Amino acid sequence: MKKQRLVLAGNGMAGIHCIEEVLKLNRQMFEIVIFGSEPHPNYNRILLSSVLQGEASLDDITLNNKDWYDKHGITLYTGETVVHIDTVQQRVITDRKRTHSYDKLIVATGSSPHILPIPGADKEGVYGFRTIEDCQALMSMAKHYQKAAVIGAGLLGLEAAVGLQHLGMDVSVIHHSAGIMQKQLDQTASRLLQTELERKGLTFLLEKDTVSISGTSRADGICFKDGSSLKADLIVMAAGVRPNIQLAVSAGIAVNRGIIVNDYMQTSEPNVYAVGECAEHNGTLYGLAAPLYEQGKALAKHICGAPCEGYQGSAPSAALKIAGIDVWSAGKVHEDERTTSIKIYDEQTGIYKKALFEDDKLAGVILFGDTRDKQRFLDSLLKQRDISIVKKQIIEPENTGTLFDSMSSSETICQCNSVTKGAIEEAVHTKGLTTVEEVKHCTKASGSCGGCKPLVKDLLRHMTSSEYTEPAVTPSFCGCTDFTEDDIIAELQRRPFTNPGEAMSQLGWKTNNGCRKCVPAIQYYLEMLYPGFVQPESAAEDTYILIPQMYGGRTNAEQLRNIANIIEAYSISDVSITHGQRLKLSGIKPADLPNIKKDLKMPVRSNEHHRTLQSVKACTCGQNRSIQQLAAQIERHLEMLSMPAYISISLSCETDCTDAAIQDVGAIRTQAGWDIYIGGVRGTHARSGALFCVTDNADSTASMIKGLIQYYRETAHYLEAVHQWMDRLGIVHIREVLFEEDLKTQLLESLQTDLSLIQNPPVQAGAHKKG
């Protein structure tokens, strides 16, 4: 199928994160073309202040280098801007007169610094602080000039001011309001922060309105509305940002302050989407990494056709990235008639905490001086936790060790990239990570806004301490029970239950009838423990599917003639060829099913057979009849067995087809014998299986494959695919089992016993329980 063309206008964090999510969902669906106005690959704009403050280099903040684009087959045009969208012809035109058609277009043009519309704003020496070029210019100017002024005391302005001071400049911060960071902090926190920054050497001029920039061709100072002035050689405008919506406006796309989008990030024009700082969702603009990443994930799922509830909005949070100062807030920060609050202020230690509540549910938090619990408060905010829970959190903060011990594996450490505590622990244990930088590269935790970096560092330190205990608790299997999957299996082995209902009743299920996850799982494990177990009758299907068995993909004129007669006699209109080289007869009426089975005079598979081997696919090259014979032999031995999940097996020749390499289990005939592969993946995320072993002849190949399948059946979890099972147990362990001749013999004997019990079920289910 021809790929759709996905064009991204904007090479920033939000747009590229969306592309990353698309690649995860369906790598083959789109031909991807990206236009970026800046001459760089994707980088972390949020951490530019860290570069200015000397805590990171420009290389450190690069998120995706040129190799990443090449690896994923993405066409990247840097230093080139989309200037027009033709929504009728579905094409974009750039400032270099390049034209590209699109099937889907994502507008991720971000925002630009708000340059005050005052006389002198265009003079040399006046900068915004938004790009790598801005950062480089400020670093260069700091070598030649002494006095700097930053207009704006929001997050970005304060971080820029501290950065310039780090470069040796004398810095004044000008702000039109009475308090700094007034959107994120209340008066108390704002005053505390100002005091700390003044101790670091910053000067603040509050309630000052700038009316002009003085100087001839180059700026030399600032003039204020009250008639006062300030000398400055370098001026940084950090008075907020404005969404870049001009491209949308010129294309007739609906805008307000930003480009208006719905929950799926769709604009008013078909096949045109917007994401990031330029997008306005339910009247709100977002400028932080976590909300923009959530938008990108929702958009990716939508255009890839994956199930998606859409973007539901985000709770805003902000952390100041200045070394030695811990400030964080989230949600609502200013009281009104609807709110109540809990406040703690320790003047001696400089610690201030405030939690705001609406209807006794957490609505906002401010932390100053001690931000260790910020992730827990954010989790409480997102889950709208009750005042009684939050009150304990704010009054009795936990030390680092207790904090992590009480934190479940599913709790989020990095909100931007949705990285949990458990994911970091697993990465540390399995890959031997020891530094925050290694954790960032492996899991992306702390790789966006950097706000969780101290928490990641504390977790790493805790994991190497004597207080740390490796997590042993596995999440319960489903919401119907507190049992883990392994607990369920152990109980089913210990007690002779005869059906899922009895098992759920005796094991204290929270729900009467279970759910779609646990009921079929218990049914499967009962089938494994009691071969020949009679399944409860399910509701009759509206129509049935029958697949006449053609072992090894081979048939003859008599079989085909008989099938054709049946198709005509029973008016079966839907007939197709399956991926497994079989004819599929669909839409069969329930009343006709018994007679069709009888008239076919050959084994059949139907949609009554769930999680069983559908077929063993074989190479159809004329010289490889031996491959088809081996496929038929294996299929006859395995066809009635229940499997943990749907399973594919394929046998191929070396020269004409390599289909076997991407199946759950596959064997490729070579001149020397057979190469057996396991753990391949088909579909949109296809991957080659791992070479498991080499065998000499057809008999040893059949024996190895049957032993593998039986070990998979006995040790895999319900619905665990072969590649997941292999990743969990490890291919080395599976080899150790199958290469031990006695163990393989036991598996084959167990397989034969299961087949015998299925073909000749015991009189009473449970009489032949396996150990």
Pairing of strands 412-414, 419-420: antiparallel
Is 518 within any annotated ligand binding site? no
Dist. CA 460–CA 411, nearest whole Å: 16
Distance CA 470, CA 354 (A): 34
Helix (H, G, I), strand (E, B) or coil at 271: coil
The DSSP-derived string for 388-422 is HHHHHHHHSPPPHHHHHHHS-TTSEEETTTTEEHH
Distance CA(93)–CA(253), nearest Å, equals 16
Which of helix, strand or coil describes residue 61? coil
Does 135 appear as a known binding residue?
Answer: no
What is the SS3 string spanning 608-620? Answer: CCCCECCCEEECC
Is residue 478 annotated as involved in ligand binding?
Answer: no
d(CA 449, CA 47) in angstroms, rounded, equals 7
Q: Which residues contact 20 (CB under 8 A, 6 or more apart)?
A: 296
Nearest to 632 by CA among 571, 598, 670, 582: 582
For the chain, the distance separating the N- and C-terminal CA atoms, rounded to the nearest angstrom, is 49
On whether the CB atoms of residues 106 and 264 are closer than 8 A, the answer is: no
Query: What 8-state DSSP symbol labels residue 687?
Result: B
Specify the residue for token string 């395995």: 638
Q: Give the separation between CA 361 and CA 385, rounded to whole angstroms.
A: 6
- The amino acid that residue 21 corresponds to is E
Is the Cβ–Cβ distance between 107 and 9 less than 8 Å? yes
Question: What is the spatial distance between Cα 447 and Cα 453, in angstroms, rounded to a whole number?
Answer: 8
- Which helix (H) or strand (E) is 585 found in, with range? strand 583-588
Cα–Cα–Cα angle for 721, 722, 727, rounded to 5 degrees: 100
442 is in an annotated binding site: no
Report residue 750 as tokens. Answer: 């167990």
Tokens at 447, concatenated: 């790789």
Residue 232: is it exposed, middle or buried by C-beta count within 10 angstroms (0-12/13-18/19+)? buried
Burial of 117 (0-12, 13-18, 19+ CB in 10 A): exposed
Cα 631 to the center of its chain, rounded Å: 38
Q: Which residues are annotated as a binding site for [4Fe-4S] cluster?
A: 619, 621, 653, 657
Q: Which residues are annotated as a binding site?
A: 619, 621, 653, 657
Q: Which residues are annotated as a binding site for siroheme?
A: 657
